[in-house]
Structure formats: C-alpha cells, structure tokens
Amino acid sequence: MLHMGNGIFVLGEATAVPRLDELIVRHRPMVAVVNAALRQADDVEFALALAARTLGRTRVVLVSETLDEDLLGRALQSGTGGFVHREALLREIIPAIRQVAAGLTFISSTMITRLRDRFPAVINRVGHRLTPLTRREAEVLALVAAGLSNLQIADKLGIGAGTVRSHLARILAKLSARNRAHAVGIAYESGLLTVGSSHRR
C-alpha cells in the first residue's frame, strides 16, 4: 500500500529493534511506523522510547494489536504522533502517516469511539485542572486528544478554524509543548485527561 504512488516513500523495513534503530539513525525518516510489541533489551516499548528521544525529528506512528488506553496515554506523553489499531491498519495507515508527518496527532477511529463518551465529563471539569489554560483552550485540547481536526473542532464548538489555530498556538505556548501530541501528553500527566479508568478489555 505504501508503494502505490501515494507520495509516501519507504526508506527501510525491519523486524527487530536493533535493525530498526539502525535504519532510523541512518535515514532520519519523517515518520517511523512501529509495532507496539517491539521492545528494547530493557523491556521498554521501543516506539515510546524512540518518540521521546528523537523530539519530533522522526515522528512515530504506533501500531497496536489492542485498544490499550494505558498504552495510548503513555504514547501521547512520550510524544508519539499516531496510534493505529491493527484492525484498522489497511484503511488508516496512510492517513495516519500523512497527518503525523504534518505535525498533527492521529488516533485510530476505534480508539476514539472508546474514549469519546468520556469527553463531556472531561470538559465539564476543566476549570479545576491546568490552571494556565482558559476554559475554551482546555475544551480545544480535550477535542485534540479525541483526534478531531481543526475543522471538526471548529464545527463542534461553533467557532472559526482560525480561532482554533489561535487557541492551539496559545495552548502550546502556555504548556511549553513542542506539538499537539506533546500538549495532549501534558494534559494526561496533569490529570485533565485520564485513560484506563473504564472500558478496559
């Protein structure tokens, strides 16, 4: 699929951590698609470690066999740009790569469905968390975490897309976040957003 004239160029493929690490160091790809099952010798998830240490130079799309909310939370905290559920791989991998390469966050539709019922409650309590953010900025951040695009956020909140971009710029500045994924990770760390509290398999 990635070779079918869609503007994505595959620089290498690996089935083990050492080889994948070598390819990333050599080629410095914009995006690395990494199986969540790949672990380093110290038993740390390779995808999360890679996202944390490359600081956005190579953005990571994580492919997970399960809808693991705890893994999603840790992935966002590490700066991972995308979370794709294995069952949705064929239809979501190309848009995930493109969105993450553009500096946005991609979360698999099946994971969004699992999390979506929590966001009204999250938005209702934003005044008690992340005090540097206004209520509207916290609402925008919660919807970013739900995987919504700027246009979708604008439509949901009844504001313009330019206003959403302005809110995002202020959010990143206030939280000293590198990108949208990093801002969402800070929100999880602060307790504004929570994962793993329900709907766990």
Cα 61 to chain centroid, rounded? 8
Mean pLDDT of 95-107: 87
The topology (CATH level 3) of 117-190 is Arc Repressor Mutant, subunit A (1.10.10)
pLDDT attached to residue 31: 94
Q: What tens digit of pLDDT does each residue of 3-34 get?
A: 776 788 899 898 888 888 899 889 999 999 99
Model confidence band, residue 42 (pLDDT cutoffs 50, 70, 90): confident
Model confidence band, residue 120 (pLDDT cutoffs 50, 70, 90): low
| Least confident range of 102-111, 175-184, 187-196 | 187-196
**119 pLDDT exceeds 60?**
no
CA distances from 114 to 69, 72, 87 (A): 9, 12, 14
Q: Report the sign of the C-alpha dihedral through residues 103, 140, 125, 145, in that order.
A: negative
Which residue has better confidence, 20 or 123? 20
Q: What tens digit of pLDDT does each residue of 128-141 get?
A: 445 577 888 888 88
**194 pLDDT exceeds 80?**
no
**166 pLDDT exceeds 80?**
yes
Looking up tokens 């000293």 gives: 176
**84 pLDDT exceeds 90?**
yes
Q: Which residues neighbour 183 within 8 Å (Cβ) at sequence distance 6 or greater?
A: 141, 144, 171, 172, 175, 177
DSSP string of 115-157, one letter each residue: HHTTHHHHHHTGGGS-TTS-HHHHHHHHHHHTT--HHHHHHHH
Map out the domains of the chain as residue ranges.
17-113, 117-190
Mean pLDDT of 60-84: 87
Tokens of 38: 């790949």
Instruction: Give the CA count within 13 Å in the CB-facing half-sphere of 146.
Output: 23
pLDDT attached to residue 70: 79
Return the H-helix or E-strand segment holding 59: strand 59-64
Neighbours of 92 (CB within 10 A): 22
Whether domain 17-113 has CATH 1.10.287.130: the reply is: no
